[in-house]
Amino acid sequence: MTTDCTETGFGTREVRRARYAVAAVFTVHGAVTGSFATRVPWIQDHAGVSAGQLGIALAFPAIGASLAMPLAGTVSHRFGARTALRGLLAMWTLALILPALAPNLLTLCAALFVYGASAGMSDVAMNALGVEVENRLDKSIMSGLHGMWSVGALIGSAGGTVAAHVGADARLHHTVVALVLTLLGLIACQRVLDLRSEPDEEPPPRFALPPKSALIIGAVGFCAVFAEGASLDWSAVYLRDVLDSSAGLAAASTTAFALTMAIARIAGDRIVDRFGAVRTVRAGGVLATVGGVMVVTAPNAALAMSGFALMGLGIAVVVPLAFAAAGRSGPNPSQAIAGVATITYTSGLIAPSAIGSLAEATSLVVSFGVVSVLAFGLVLGAGVLRAGDRKPVAVPATAAASRPAAGPRP
């Protein structure tokens, strides 16, 4: 694909506007996740489910995303990238209302299934458009876009924390937030690239297996997301149980890790442009591995928190670069992106429970030793992200928004 904006039917100014529009879409998408996560305890109490039942229910977003993501390419092919994203993003923001309305386990599972399905389809659509904008600008923007997703998640979680603190009903809270985010999303979508399929282009199949290249790229993403999920969900527990830290200090570790990830992603594009995707991820893998070793050998909380911070820095840009590499890895970008997303969603789903199971059988120190080994996998596997260095490929201008997807963030 050529990166000359004029040759693809879009002027330079239009593509630059599209960049900021897609960034706004990523922010809106992240804000939904942050808003939901902070009210899970309220939703659990309202639905009257136990901790074990809640764990079952929280698997349904990933199940919904995995099953629905294959439809993203078909929707974009039929309606065009802009219209498709507008509709899919609105479905996602409005789906925020559903879990808080669920009165029991069955309805909660159904609500979270819809919530995850709409999240996954909009995720594929916005990442595909992000890759298209990056191609036309001929510079890295995917890390920054995912950084904006993290910013949105932080904003959403901050609002949710305030709502929870004042005892607001999550049904009212999520309804108001959903309506505001839907409006903001619709406004942002007005400026994204309006990619359309050629009139004689054959519609993509509804379901298709992801290409082999996506599976290999997804394996690298798996390592990064596993380390991310383990650190976010277990860093506070690690400091409390292993290093006997106070509850406040333990919680601060998780917040610091999330902030480190967001800052590193926002700043990551300049590093990627200078050093390339492969060297950036390889260096990040070294940092993450060193951070993991610091965690498992730390005699005190300060060193462990420094280790978690290094892990955050090291893995921050991996997933954005994995999506970028997938989008350039062959003639079916949306299919490849969805394949990578499937693997990363799966990693994020199993990481918390896998760490817990291993810790129960051995210890949390051993669990994070495994995380360190997976982090080193980034060093070994970075070469598969070479497609993320924005070498032009022969792909139709509409490809990233009109090809089939298979399987599934943020």
Structure tokens at 195: 């990619």
User: What is the structure's pLDDT at 299?
Assistant: 95
User: What is the structure's pLDDT at 295?
Assistant: 95
HSE, side-chain direction, 13 A CA sphere, residue 407: 17
Concatenating the DSSP letter of every residue in 130-185 gives HHHHHHHHTS--HHHHHHHHHHHHHHHHHHHHHHHHTT--HHHHHHHHHHHHHHHH
Short-list 50, 78, 12, 16, CA closest to 404: 78
pTM: 0.78
C-alpha span between 131 and 401 (Å, rounded)? 10
User: What is the structure's pLDDT at 6?
Assistant: 42
In the DSSP assignment, the letter for residue 329 is S
* Averaged pLDDT in 10-residue chunks for the chain of 410 residues: 46 86 95 88 91 82 84 82 93 96 96 94 90 88 90 87 89 97 96 72 57 84 91 84 86 78 89 93 96 96 93 93 84 76 80 83 93 96 77 37 35
Give me the phi and psi of 213, to 5 degrees please. Answer: -60, -35
User: What is the structure's pLDDT at 389?
Assistant: 60
User: What is the structure's pLDDT at 215?
Assistant: 85
Instruction: Let me know: does 389 contact 324? Beta carbons within 8 Å.
Output: no
